[in-house]
């Protein structure tokens, strides 16, 4: 079985401008949504109480909302969670009341309205802890970016590091843009997924760069855009199959993982799909525009590397 | 060239065996059990308790799979939860005849069914986090400024006394925030104060802070001393929590310090979360009262008369009653510390109590008027009081006083512990709380493992179809990866959470990347006309550099999450990082080992089963491969 019967190198870099324009537009759109709509941050970041209750029959959301409002909370999000019998409530932080009291009062009121209600899960995060989690998340993001840039600069060259990070941050912003647009809940788990996607995405770019380095060594006559095209084309089968396999795992999570993992799996899916685009086209194109050359990767004066591995007489000394 | 030296095969075999052994306990599941441990320090749990438990069970006709004494508790395992519940009731009735004063904690728990031979190797199943087991998680923040204020109170009182002894006429010693301010009329007084502080108060450092025309000195607690206060406050609170949580009958509570001022409490398997919260938030339960020395009181103490009006009766540690007046002099809130030590005059074991400003004042007034009378300290546990100390007032007491006599050093230590346990050093506030019902926990496990299994199955099917025999090798490597991952998690007893299971699924999806890289490279080499043996060799070699780079970058993301993550996200990061490391080993070393075993010896290898090696341009291939 071979899905990728490609005759010759696909000239991707000819269309570099178009490809990058598309990615720039989506990037701007994502930023716009982030700014205009903002992320729907979960309780872990904002502080507050979340309660998940289960009824035996499909829940009457309007009645639940009424009960909650009668307790004095205005405009509390009440929604189904997973099945129609599960309801998720989010209570804001109330000064003067401990979380325990808040959730107990709420549960008592709900029980009064419908005795079959059962508390499946409740979570309270103080606002100070929420603030710290936001800071920690940002620090983690910063550490990942710096770490990856250093590693790539050492393994390849700074131009590669810069292009990889720009292309892959673009991924991260797009995921956040999706979450802002659809107002999906952005929780700690989703943040973890985003960071994992960043690592995975850079992984992709690394494979391409590695191939570029090898092509620079092997094909002395080709120009940089041709080298890049060659690198992308020869790795395209591996790229698609790997992304496909990871997507199968994530799909399995989407289907079987239940509501807790739902947004986590969604973030991963978006990351994987856009990852192909950004890591392959955008990273390579930016590297090309930054002016990568054969000499960046191959140190001059090193006799061994001047030998063309494709040359049958290479290395021969008379 | 595709031959592994024997030692490499040995390493793979050993890794496989160890991995399988340590991953095995996870397959055995858990059995419902009842765990019996001591509720009070005086109660002993040992082999005789085992016999009592067995008798209690057989009296009710209940059958236990095993009843064993393990560690510090007796554990009885049962076949199903019905028997477990009935057994819990039976054992509770038999071992705790007085329900108001239980001697044992009889708790429900789920114990792993690891067979003895595995357990002897140290193998146990993965430690499940709360979101997979159900239970309660609290994070409490200790109000450190309050603890420091109390200490400053005590020090201010001591300073006042010290200055009076040295005849230094000051204009006022007051606590301001966490500092102590001393006002004086002239500089000489301040100088004397400074000297006193330097001599007698190693914890304080003084600085001049003139307030207009007034002379003023500000003494602040040194940073090391402040840290010591905070540490002590935290440890005292942890001890208090320990004692309170014992009442709940939780099988394996986790109470840990986190950072400088936070405590994490995890109670797995707790069903009644309201009660848990209530007990954790209880206020201090220590009271100091005068002994009723009237004739009626003494008669009541001897047992010859009833308890007089205006007095209460509390049992002492040795069983005799103490009759104390109803009026409460001071409570645990006023007690800042209790330390066991030796009496300065007689070298007897004693306990020194430190009170705050308010408590000190009360003590001073009461003791001045009641020299020679007795004072009792009552510790309230579960609403019932016990007089843990009855001592005679020998002189005027103040912020600090000693109780000594008729104690040996062990008793003095116990008393100090009890005094500290009955009071909180500083108020605590719940800043984070998570409650997971048990049914949700079991559901989460099922969901997590379903997603891993189904994804795994589909990937394996695809790999085998696309890459033929090499696909089979890759799938075996993936399975080996999973076994290694599970076994490392079990060995480390790292906490597995739902995001952790998701990380497992993700790790498998990413691990297959390495094998795809290798397989595609081998195909490419074959496409370019290389001989099969050298194609395999070249494929693995070229791919290794790329695999290393890509895994390191994903590892960087994992480590960042590990450093800054908390709670379930930390569970994700741990599995993620371990998964990357095991995948590097299994995808490269293990799959190469399999390939070498299969193809390595064949010198004249003509074809390898790696699926279609398609060639462009319809050129006849130099060497046929299918």
**A39-56 pLDDT per residue, tens:** 888 877 887 888 888 888
| Closest CA in chain B for residue A136 | B564
Q: Is the pLDDT of residue A195 over 50?
A: yes
Condensed to tens digits (0 to 9), the pLDDT of residues B133-161 reads 778 888 888 877 877 777 777 777 777 77
The 3-class secondary structure across chain A, one letter per residue, is: CCCCCCCCCCCHHHHHHHHHHHHHHHHHHHHHHHHHHCCEECHHHHCEEEEEEECCCCCCHHHHHHHHHHCCCCCCCEEEECEEEEEEEEECCCCCCCHHHHHHHHHHHHHHHCCCCEEEEEEEECHHHHHHHHHHHHHHHHHHHHHHHHHHHHHCCHHHHHHHHHHHHHHHHHHHHHHHHHCCEECHHHHHHHHHHHHHHHHHHHHHHHHHHHHHHHCCCCCHHHHHHHHHHHHHHHHHHHHHHHHHHHHHHHHHCHHHHHHHHHHHHHHHHHHHHHHHHHHHHHHHHHCCCHHHHCCCCCHHHHCCCCCCCCCCCC
- At B409 the pLDDT is 78
| Closest CA in chain B for residue A139 | B564
Q: Is the pLDDT of residue B621 over 50?
A: no
pLDDT (mean) for A5-27:
80
Q: Is the pLDDT of residue B591 over 80?
A: yes
Question: pLDDT higher for B406 or B77?
Answer: B77
Report chain A's terminal Cα–Cα distance, integer Å. Answer: 47
pLDDT (mean) for B39-51:
73
Condensed to tens digits (0 to 9), the pLDDT of residues B318-371 reads 777 888 887 777 777 677 777 788 877 777 888 888 887 777 888 888 888 888
Which residues of B are less than 8 Å from A141 in CB distance? 560
Question: Which of A196, A263, A268, A276 should one mutate to test binding to chain B, selecting the residue with the greatest count of B CBs within 10 A?
Answer: A196
Residues B488 and B26: their CA atoms lie apart, in Å, by: 12
Yes or no, beta carbons of A121 and B139 under 8 Å apart: no
* Smallest Cα distance from B138 to chain A, Å: 9
A48-125 maps to which CATH number? 3.30.70.3400
Question: pLDDT higher for B424 or A111?
Answer: A111
Residues within 8 A of B (CB atoms), A 38-67 only: 52
Q: Phi, psi (5° rounding) for residue A52?
A: -115, 120
Q: How confident is the model at residue A305 (pLDDT cuts 50, 70, 90)?
A: very low
Residues within 8 A of B (CB atoms), A 180-209 only: 188-189, 191-192, 195-196, 198-200, 202-204, 206-207
- Asked if residues A160 and A144 have their Cβ atoms less than 8 Å apart, the reply is no
pLDDT (mean) for A216-238:
83
- At B483 the pLDDT is 92
Judge if A12-40+129-305 and A48-125 fold alike in CATH terms.
Answer: no
Residues B352 and B404: their CA atoms lie apart, in Å, by: 9
Yes or no, beta carbons of B462 and A206 under 8 Å apart: no
* Smallest Cα distance from B248 to chain A, Å: 17
- At A302 the pLDDT is 45
Q: Is the pLDDT of residue B617 over 60?
A: no
Kindly report which listed range (B249-258, B562-571, B612-621) carries the lowest average pLDDT score: B612-621
- Asked if residues B135 and B268 have their Cβ atoms less than 8 Å apart, the reply is yes
Closest partner residue to A128 (CB to CB) among B278, B431, B506 is B431
Q: Is the pLDDT of residue B221 over 80?
A: yes
| Closest CA in chain A for residue B437 | A120
pLDDT (mean) for A273-280:
82
- From residue A112, alpha-carbon distances to A63, A68, A71, A98 in Å are 12, 12, 12, 21
| Closest CA in chain B for residue A124 | B433
Q: How far, in whole angstroms, is CA B426 from its chain's centroid?
A: 20
Residues B369 and B393: their CA atoms lie apart, in Å, by: 10
| Closest CA in chain A for residue B567 | A188
- At B577 the pLDDT is 92
Q: Is the pLDDT of residue B38 over 90?
A: no
| Closest CA in chain A for residue B438 | A120
- At A303 the pLDDT is 47
- At A304 the pLDDT is 47
Condensed to tens digits (0 to 9), the pLDDT of residues B360-415 reads 888 888 888 888 888 888 876 555 677 877 888 877 777 788 887 667 777 777 77
A12-40+129-305 maps to which CATH number? 1.20.1640.10
CA angle centred on B129, ends B125 and B131, rounded to 5°: 130
Yes or no, beta carbons of B447 and A252 under 8 Å apart: no
Q: Is the pLDDT of residue B278 over 70?
A: no
Every domain of chain B with CATH number 3.30.1360.200 lies at 286-430
Yes or no, beta carbons of B616 and A133 under 8 Å apart: no
Every domain of chain B with CATH number 1.20.1640.10 lies at 6-23+437-618
Contact with chain B for residue A309, Cβ under 8 A: no
The complex scores an ipTM of 0.80
Which residues of A are less than 8 Å from B505 in CB distance? 249-250, 252-253
pLDDT (mean) for B430-436:
79
Q: Is the pLDDT of residue B273 over 70?
A: no
Domain B30-112: CATH architecture, name and number where available: 2-Layer Sandwich (3.30)
Yes or no, beta carbons of B520 and A144 under 8 Å apart: no
Which residues of B are less than 8 Å from A148 in CB distance? 553, 556-557
| Closest CA in chain B for residue A256 | B451
Yes or no, beta carbons of B617 and A7 under 8 Å apart: yes
B286-430 maps to which CATH number? 3.30.1360.200
Contact with chain B for residue A143, Cβ under 8 A: yes
- At A309 the pLDDT is 59
The domain locations on chain A are 12-40+129-305, 48-125
Nearest CA to A117 out of A56, A179, A66 is that of: A56
Report if pTM > 0.95.
Answer: no
Yes or no, beta carbons of B505 and A143 under 8 Å apart: no
Q: A–B: how many Cβ contacts below 8 A?
A: 240
- At A315 the pLDDT is 56
Which residues of B are less than 8 Å from A139 in CB distance? 564
* Smallest Cα distance from B282 to chain A, Å: 13
Question: pLDDT higher for A283 or A180?
Answer: A180
Yes or no, beta carbons of B281 and A125 under 8 Å apart: no
Q: Is the pLDDT of residue B578 over 90?
A: yes
B6-23+437-618 maps to which CATH number? 1.20.1640.10
Yes or no, beta carbons of B555 and A237 under 8 Å apart: no
Q: Is the pLDDT of residue A11 over 80?
A: no
Question: Which of A249, A264, A310 should one mutate to test binding to chain B, selecting the residue with the greatest count of B CBs within 10 A?
Answer: A249
Q: How many residues does chain B have?
A: 626
Yes or no, beta carbons of B444 and A119 under 8 Å apart: no
Structure tokens at B335: 């007690």
Mean pLDDT of chain B: 79
- Asked if residues B12 and B589 have their Cβ atoms less than 8 Å apart, the reply is yes
pLDDT (mean) for A70-75:
74
Q: Which option is the CATH number for B145-225: 3.30.450, 3.30.1360, 1.25.10, 3.40.50?
A: 3.30.1360
The label of the residue with tokens 């107990």 reads A104
User: Half-sphere exposure of residue B339, counting CA atoms within 13 Å on the CB side?
Assistant: 10
Yes or no, beta carbons of B611 and A2 under 8 Å apart: yes
* Smallest Cα distance from B123 to chain A, Å: 28
Yes or no, beta carbons of A245 and B462 under 8 Å apart: yes
- At B480 the pLDDT is 92
Closest partner residue to A203 (CB to CB) among B550, B565, B614 is B550
């Amino acid at each position: 079985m071979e899905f990728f019967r490609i005759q010759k190198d696909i000239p991707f870099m000819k269309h570099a401008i178009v490809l990058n324009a598309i990615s720039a537009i989506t990037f701007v759109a994502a930023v716009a949504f982030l700014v205009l709509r903002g992320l729907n941050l979960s309780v872990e970041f904002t502080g507050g109480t979340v309660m998940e209750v289960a009824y035996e029959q499909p829940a009457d959301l309007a009645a639940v909302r009424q009960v909650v409002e009668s307790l004095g909370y205005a405009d509390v999000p009440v929604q189904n969670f997973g099945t129609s019998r599960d309801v998720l409530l989010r209570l804001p932080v109330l000064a003067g009341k401990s979380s325990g009291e808040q959730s107990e009062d709420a549960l008592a009121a709900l029980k009064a309205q419908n005795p079959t209600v059962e508390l499946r899960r409740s979570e309270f995060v103080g606002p100070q802890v929420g603030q710290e989690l936001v800071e920690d998340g940002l620090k983690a993001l910063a550490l990942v970016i710096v770490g990856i840039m250093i590693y790539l600069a050492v393994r390849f060259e700074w131009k590669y590091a810069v292009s990889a990070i720009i292309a892959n941050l673009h991924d991260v912003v797009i995921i956040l843009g999706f979450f802002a647009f659809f107002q999906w809940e952005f929780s700690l788990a989703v943040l973890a997924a985003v960071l994992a996607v960043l690592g995975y995405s850079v992984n992709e770019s690394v494979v391409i760069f590695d191939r570029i380095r090898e092509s620079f060594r092997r094909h002395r006559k080709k120009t940089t855009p041709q080298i890049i095209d060659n690198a992308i084309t020869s790795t395209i089968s591996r790229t698609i199959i790997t992304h496909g396999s990871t997507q199968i795992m994530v799909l399995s999570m989407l289907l079987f993982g239940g509501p807790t993992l739902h947004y986590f799996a969604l973030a991963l899916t978006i990351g994987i799909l856009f990852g192909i685009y950004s890591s392959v086209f955008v990273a390579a194109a930016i590297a090309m525009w930054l002016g990568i050359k054969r000499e960046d990767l191959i140190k001059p004066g090193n006799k061994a590397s001047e030998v063309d591995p494709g040359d049958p007489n290479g290395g021969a000394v008379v | 060239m595709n031959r592994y030296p024997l030692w490499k095969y040995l390493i793979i075999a050993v890794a496989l065996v160890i991995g399988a052994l340590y991953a095995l306990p996870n397959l055995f599941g858990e059995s419902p059990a009842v765990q019996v441990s001591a509720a009070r320090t005086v109660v002993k749990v040992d082999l005789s308790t085992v016999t009592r438990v067995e008798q209690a069970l057989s009296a009710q006709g209940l059958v236990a799979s095993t009843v064993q004494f393990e560690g510090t508790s007796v554990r009885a395992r049962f076949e199903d939860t019905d028997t477990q519940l009935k057994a819990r009731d039976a054992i509770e009735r038999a071992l705790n005849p007085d329900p108001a004063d239980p001697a044992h904690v009889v708790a429900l728990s789920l114990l792993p069914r690891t067979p003895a031979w595995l357990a002897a190797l140290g193998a146990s199943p993965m430690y499940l986090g709360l979101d997979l087991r159900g239970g309660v998680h609290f994070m409490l923040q200790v109000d450190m400024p309050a603890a420091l204020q109390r200490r400053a109170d005590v020090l201010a009182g001591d300073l006042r006394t010290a200055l009076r002894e040295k005849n230094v006429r000051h204009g006022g010693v007051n606590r301001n925030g966490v500092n102590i301010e001393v006002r004086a009329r002239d500089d000489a007084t301040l100088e004397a104060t400074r000297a006193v502080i330097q001599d007698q108060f190693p914890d304080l450092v003084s600085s001049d802070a003139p307030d207009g025309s007034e002379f003023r000195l500000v003494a602040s607690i040194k940073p090391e001393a402040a840290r010591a206060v905070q540490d002590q406050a935290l440890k005292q609170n942890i001890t208090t929590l320990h004692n309170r949580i014992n009442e709940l009958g939780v099988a394996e509570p986790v109470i840990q310090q986190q950072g400088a001022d936070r405590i994490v409490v995890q109670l797995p398997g707790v069903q009644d979360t309201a009660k848990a919260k209530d007990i954790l938030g209880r206020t201090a339960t220590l009271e100091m009262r005068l002994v009723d020395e009237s004739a009626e009181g003494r008669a009541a103490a001897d047992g010859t008369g009833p308890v007089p009006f205006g007095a209460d009766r509390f049992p002492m540690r040795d069983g005799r009653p103490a009759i104390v007046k109803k009026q409460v002099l001071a409570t645990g809130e006023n007690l800042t510390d209790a330390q066991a030590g030796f009496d300065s005059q007689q070298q007897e074991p004693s306990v020194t109590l430190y009170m705050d400003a308010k408590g000190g004042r009360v003590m001073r007034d009461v003791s001045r008027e009641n020299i020679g009378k007795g004072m009792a300290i009552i510790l309230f546990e579960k609403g019932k009081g016990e007089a843990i100390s009855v001592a005679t007032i020998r002189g005027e007491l103040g912020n600090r006083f000693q109780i000594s006599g008729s104690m040996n050093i062990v008793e003095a230590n116990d008393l100090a512990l009890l005094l500290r346990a009955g009071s909180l050093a500083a108020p605590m506030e719940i800043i984070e709380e998570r409650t997971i019902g048990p049914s949700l926990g079991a559901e989460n496990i099922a969901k997590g493992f379903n997603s891993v299994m189904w994804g795994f199955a589909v990937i394996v099917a695809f790999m085998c179809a696309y890459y033929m025999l090499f696909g089979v090798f890759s799938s075996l490597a993936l399975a080996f990866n999973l076994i290694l991952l599970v076994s490392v998690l079990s060995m480390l007893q790292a906490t597995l959470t739902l995001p952790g299971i998701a990380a497992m699924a993700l790790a498998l999806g990413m691990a297959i990347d390495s094998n795809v890289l290798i397989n595609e490279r081998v195909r490419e080499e074959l496409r370019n006309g290389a001989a099969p043996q050298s194609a395999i060799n070249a494929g693995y070699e070229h791919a290794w550099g790329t695999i290393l780079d890509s895994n390191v970058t994903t590892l960087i993301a994992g480590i960042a999450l590990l450093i800054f993550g908390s709670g379930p996200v930390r569970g994700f990061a741990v599995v993620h990082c371990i998964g990357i490391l095991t995948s590097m080993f299994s995808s490269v070393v293990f799959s190469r080992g399999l390939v070498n075993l299969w193809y390595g010896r064949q010198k004249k290898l003509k074809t390898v089963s790696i699926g279609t090696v398609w060639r462009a341009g319809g050129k006849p291939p130099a060497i046929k491969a299918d």
